Amino acid sequence: MLLTNIKRIFIGIYSILKGLKVTFKNMFKKSVTLNYPIIKQDMKERFRGMVDLYPDKCVICYQCIKICPTAALDLAHKTLEDNKTKNITIFTFNAELCCFCGFCEEICPTDAIFLNKMYEVSYFDHKDLLKIDLMSSEKYKHVDGGVS
């Protein structure tokens, strides 16, 4: 019984020293955490955030609408009197449906549609997620930091 208690004491001391070894090994290394939200991390090149649009680049080909697996995009246009010029009347994005796959960005021939680098996206009202007007310059105004 005495040997069992001594063995337990040595096992306890050994486990404490083993844990302290890890602590001391990492104590003087540089911290990997950020002082969030004061310091914000830059998103990586391949990060896919919210859908965004350069309206002047859009040629109204409807390819992004056709390829979207969740039908999160809606586009409508009107043809002007010369029958050659088209103007976008509606281009909306439903963030609730979007799976952020990036197909719309890949298929766009003019790079008009893209996934921005926003990762802080929150809304006060659920209805604000349903029809985000991509033609508006203030589509993501409520989000601090804006669009990159």
Rounded Cα gap, residues 142 and 117, in angstroms = 15
Band of pLDDT at residue 64, cut at 50, 70 and 90? very high
pLDDT at residue 32 in the model: 81
pLDDT at residue 144 in the model: 52
Rounded mean pLDDT, 31-55: 88
Rounded mean pLDDT, 19-35: 87
pLDDT at residue 81 in the model: 79
Rounded Cα gap, residues 25 and 110, in angstroms = 52
Q: Report yes or no on whether pTM surpasses 0.75.
A: no
Rounded Cα gap, residues 39 and 58, in angstroms = 35
Phi, psi of 119 (to 5 degrees): -120, -5
Rounded Cα gap, residues 56 and 94, in angstroms = 21
Instruction: Check whether 143 has a pLDDT greater than 70.
Output: no
pLDDT at residue 53 in the model: 94
pLDDT at residue 69 in the model: 96
Report the percentage of the chain scoring pLDDT > 90: 49
Task: Single out the residue of 98, 2, 3 nearest to residue 52, CA to CA.
Answer: 98
Fold (topology level) of 51-133: Alpha-Beta Plaits (3.30.70)
Report yes or no: 132 and 95 within 8 Å, Cβ to Cβ.
yes
